[in-house]
C-alpha cells in the first residue's frame, strides 16, 4: 500500500498543519491511480446524494433538471437554491411542512434553508410514488431508507450487509463503504437506472449542487463532462465516462481536498492547475497561508 498523500498548510516561513489524504481513481473498473489505502472505509455523507436521487428520477420521469440537481445537492441556501427546492416539492405534491431535515446553524430556522432540504424533498416525493407514509421517512426502519441502502449497495456492487450505516447530520441514514467502491459507484452512475438523468441534471446545474466556490461545483464548471459531489468530513467523489474517483482526508478537514484532487486527476491525464495551491485569506482579505503538497 502506498503512503497517503501529505498536504501542508504553510503560513509564512513555517508549516502549520499537515493533512494525510487517501485517494483512488478507477478507469473501466480497474485502479488507475491511488495513494494511501483504496480499501479504507469512508463515510459517504452527502456524497451519497446522487445515488439517493436515483429512485426519484425513476419515479418521476417528467421532473426537470433543476429539481433533480437540487435533490442531489448540498446547497448554500441562496434564493435560487430555495426556489429549486420549492419547485421540486410543488412538482411532486409535497410541502415545506413535511421537511424533516432540521435547521442549520447560521441560516434561517425554516427547514427548507438546510443544505439537505433538496434531498429531503426528493425523499418525500419517493415515498409518495411508492405509497409509503411520509411520516418517519428519515428513520432507519422506514422502507425508504431501506431502499436507499439497497441503492448504495447495488451501485458499489456490495451486499447491503457490507455497507456501514449511521445517522447523518440531517437525520437520515448515512453510509460507509471502501473508497474504491465509492469510486466504482460514481464511475457507474450513468449506467444505473435513472443515473443518466441525475448526472445530466448535475452537469447542467453545477451551481445548484453546491454553490459559488464549492469544490464540486467548481470542478463540474471547469470540466463539464464530470459529475462531482462532496461529503462532510473531507470526502469527495467524482466520475464520468467510465471513470470514477474518491478522496478522503484522514482528519476530515476538507481544505486538503483540492491539492490532493489535482494529483489524482493528473494521474488520469486531467490537469487541475487551479487546485494545486489554495490560498487562505485572513480577516482583512489578505493572503495569509497556502494549502499545497508537502
- Number of independent structural domains in the chain: 1
Residue 284 lies in a domain: yes
Per-residue model confidence as pLDDT tens digits over 30-84: 999 999 999 999 999 999 999 999 999 999 999 999 999 999 999 999 999 999 9
| Nearest to 262, CA basis, from 230, 226, 231, 292 | 292
Closest CA to 247 of 215, 222, 218: 215
- The pTM (predicted TM-score) of the whole model is 0.96
Domain harbouring 195, CATH code: 3.40.710
Q: Is position 74 within any domain? A: yes
Residue given cell 471513470 in the structure block: 243
Distances (CA, A) of 101 to 122, 143, 248: 12, 18, 25
Judge whether 218 lies within some domain.
yes
Average pLDDT over residues 162-180: 98
- Domain membership flag for residue 128: yes
In a domain, 160, yes or no: yes
Specify if 145 maps to a domain. Answer: no
Q: For 254-279, what is each residue's pLDDT tens digit?
A: 999 999 999 999 999 999 999 999 99
Pairing of β 243-249 and β 278-281:
unpaired
State the residue range of the domain holding 125: 5-137+152-293
Amino acid at each position: 500500500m502506498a503512503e497517503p498523500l501529505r498536504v501542508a498548510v504553510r503560513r509564512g516561513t513555517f508549516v502549520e498543519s499537515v493533512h494525510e489524504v487517501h485517494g483512488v481513481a478507477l478507469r473501466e473498473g480497474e485502479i488507475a491511480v491511488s495513494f494511501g489505502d483504496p480499501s479504507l472505509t469512508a463515510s459517504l455523507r452527502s456524497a451519497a446524494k446522487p445515488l439517493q436521487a436515483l429512485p426519484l428520477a425513476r419515479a418521476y420521469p417528467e421532473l426537470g433538471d433543476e429539481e433533480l440537481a437540487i435533490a442531489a445537492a448540498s446547497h448554500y441556501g441562496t434564493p435560487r437554491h430555495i426556489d429549486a427546492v420549492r419547485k421540486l416539492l410543488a412538482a411532486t405534491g409535497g410541502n415545506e411542512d413535511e421537511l424533516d431535515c432540521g435547521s442549520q446553524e447560521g441560516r434561517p430556522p425554516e427547514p427548507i434553508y438546510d443544505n439537505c432540504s433538496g434531498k429531503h424533498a426528493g425523499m418525500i416525493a419517493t415515498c409518495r410514488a411508492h405509497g409509503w407514509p411520509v411520516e418517519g421517512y428519515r428513520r432507519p426502519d422506514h422502507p425508504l431508507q431501506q431502499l436507499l441502502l439497497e441503492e448504495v449497495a447495488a451501485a458499489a456492487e456490495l451486499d447491503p450487509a457490507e455497507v456501514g450505516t449511521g445517522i447523518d447530520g440531517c437525520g437520515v441514514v448515512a453510509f460507509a463503504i471502501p473508497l474504491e467502491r465509492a469510486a466504482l459507484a460514481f464511475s457507474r452512475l450513468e449506467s444505473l437506472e435513472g443515473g443518466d438523468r441525475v448526472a445530466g441534471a448535475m452537469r447542467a446545474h453545477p451551481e445548484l449542487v453546491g454553490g459559488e466556490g464549492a469544490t464540486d461545483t467548481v470542478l463540474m464548471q471547469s470540466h463539464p463532462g464530470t459529475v462531482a459531489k462532496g461529503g462532510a468530513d473531507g470526502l469527495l467523489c467524482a466520475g464520468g465516462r467510465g471513470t470514477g474517483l474518491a478522496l478522503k482526508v484522514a482528519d476530515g478537514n476538507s481544505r486538503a481536498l483540492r491539492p490532493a484532487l489535482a494529483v489524482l486527476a493528473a494521474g488520469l491525464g486531467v490537469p487541475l492547475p487551479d487546485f494545486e495551491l489554495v490560498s487562505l485569506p485572513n480577516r482583512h482579505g489578505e493572503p495569509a497561508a497556502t494549502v499545497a503538497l508537502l
